[in-house]
Each structure stands twice: as structure tokens, then as C-alpha cells.
Structure 1
């Protein structure tokens, strides 16, 4: 079993971050070109807690390690199941994801939390993952698979943050442009 964790401060408000979170796999995010589809399976609002729960299926195109492809005959498409909870009262978004592809060989469980930072106007992003090789056999093989997966996860986490920063910047620019157009229209 291996663990990964990271924390980052986005210099954007919680409202901006949580709104853009739903658009982070958009065409202008050049760091997430591996995501080929995001399908919402269900969405519900708890009438008592007012927590929005969303289930999504994320389909990715990623090159599988040659050794896995050789033994499994696998394609380069993988699926991830994600459940998210948006709690407006607590100003907290919590997302859990689990790989569906190769889940009989390896389990990758990720948790992401967005909450307002102590720094005014910023948002704290916390990411953690637990990676477990489930394949039987030698511990050395399991360790190698887990270490490879953690390193790949680490690399993808950096790309993901960079891509999301781009989405946030473009969204802020677009919003400012809309505000300016609206202001001009009202004064005309």
C-alpha cells in the first residue's frame, strides 16, 4: 500500500474554484486532453442538509504500461467513478474517486477537498490517494506496481493543478469581459 498527498492554494475565491471545478475537463484545458468524456450519472440535493451529491463517470485515454497491455490485452481507455458532495453551508466540496479499470489488479482511491483558505480570496485544495496492488504473487511485484502508480499519480496531479489554474484564469477573464460589456451596455 502506498499513499500520496498534496496541498495547494489557488489564488481564486471558493466560489470561483467550485464553479470552475465542473468545467475543469473543458477543451481549453490543454493539460487534461486525456479526459475524453465526463458523464453525470446522478445528481441529488438533500432537502435537510442542502448538500448536493453528484456521481460521474470519467473516461480517459491513457497509455497503459506495455507489460500490462501484453498480459491483459487492454485498450488505452480507462474509467473512473467519482462521487462529490458540495456543502454550501460549510463551504466545502469533497470528491471521492475510484478506478474501475483494472480494479481487480490495483485500487486507486482518491479524495479531494476544496475549502476557503485562511488567506482571503484564496481556496485550499487538499488531495490524497491510497494505492493498493491487489494482484497476488510476489511482494516485490506489488511494490513495483504501487511505486510506478504513485509516481504516475504525482505527475498527473501536477498537470491537473496546472490545467485547472488555466481554466480558472480563463474563466475570470471571461467573467470580467462580460461585466465590462454589461457596464458599457447600461451606460449607453
Structure 2
């Protein structure tokens, strides 16, 4: 069995700024579980201008009491692959965990686009799949735990992005300049 999650949210910020904030989102007070983030590969397609980046993210997980005998180390390595197309103003990110996949695989896709009703805003569509290969009647329990944890973390992730966007806005106001996105030249993490 597989659990699915879908959610669409909006940020009252331009697409350039939201995609720029995406690269700056760690650290933030809502992501204390993120230990580190490293760029593995980054390249720009010379014909299309699409930026492709692969990052490795280390997160410290929290296990329920009943899951502590299944996993000894709750650290999770996450691979994040992204494509930023400045021409179409679309950013697509795909993440999945690299370890503990037999117990629970979490696959997430996010699509950042200009909001269809307000071009000064950004719309983010999030989809996730939670899959467990455990047997012994634990599959449903693990997947339910995973989907609930994912929904909680999604709320925190949106708060973290809002926090970073507000910091960008404040820094731009102090400098007396508009916030300018740099989706084609992201920070390393």
C-alpha cells in the first residue's frame, strides 16, 4: 500500500524571490532537524538555460517508540534534484531518502510557478508518496506515521520559507533596493 499527499500553497512573493529563498532556506528556525546540505552537481544547459542541481541533505529524524527497534540511527540522507527554468519561470524539485528505504521511502515533488491569478505571487504544488516494504502488519502503521509526519513537516517547511522570504524583504528594505531573485545562481545551501 502507498500513502499519497497533495497540497497547493502560495507565497505572496515573486517567483524569482521564492526560488532564491529556496536555496537559502537552511538554516532557519523551523528546520533545526537539518544537519547539513552539500551540492553534488550543478550545471546549466547552454541551449535552454535550465539549471540542474543535485544536493545531498542530512536530516535528523524522530522515531516513534514502536519504530526504535526497526531503525537504530534516525539520521536520514536525502537526495534533492532540481531544475530551474528561468524562461518559463518553473522550478521542479524532487527529493527522496537514500537510507531506511525498506522501512519507509518518502518521495516528494514540488513545482514552483508564477501564481495563475496574481503574477506577483508564487504557487507551489507539493506531491508526496510514502511507501513501506515492511511486512508483519506494520506497513499501514509505518505509512500512516510517515504521511502524518510529512504533513507536519510541510507546515514547518512553509513557515521556514516564509521566514527566509521575510528576511530577504527586510534586508532589501535596509539596503534600499528591491529583493532580486537569483534563481540561476543559487547558494550552495
TM-score using structure 1 length? 0.89
**What are the superposed Cα offsets for residues 79-119 of structure 1, whole Å, 9 maximum, x if unpaired?**
11110000111100000001112012221110011110121
1:141-156 alignment, distance < 5 Å: 141-156=138-153
Gapped runs of 5+ residues in structure 1?
A: 181-188
**What are the superposed Cα offsets for residues 145-180 of structure 1, whole Å, 9 maximum, x if unpaired?**
111110010000001101110110111110121126
- 1:126 is displaced (CA, Å) by 0.8
Q: Which has the larger radius of gyration?
A: 1
Please, what is the CA RMSD of the aligned residues?
Answer: 1.3
Greater than 4 Å deviation, 4+ residue runs: none
Name the residue aligned to 2:128: 129
Choose from 72, 75, 89 the match for 2:73: 75
- Helix, strand or coil at the partner of 1:71: coil
Larger RCO: 1 or 2 (CA < 8 Å, sep 6+): 2
TM-score using structure 2 length? 0.88
**What are the superposed Cα offsets for residues 122-149 of structure 1, whole Å, 9 maximum, x if unpaired?**
00011110111112333xx211111111
Gapped runs of 5+ residues in structure 2?
A: 178-189
Query: What is the rounded CA distance, in whole Å, between the counterparts of 2:49 and 2:80 in structure 1?
Result: 20
Matched pairs, number: 175
Query: What is the rounded CA distance, in whole Å, between the counterparts of 1:134 and 1:170 in structure 2?
Result: 41
Contact residue 104 and residue 146 of structure 2 kept, 8 A? no
- 1:77 is displaced (CA, Å) by 1.5
Of Structure 1 and Structure 2, the greater helix share is in: 1
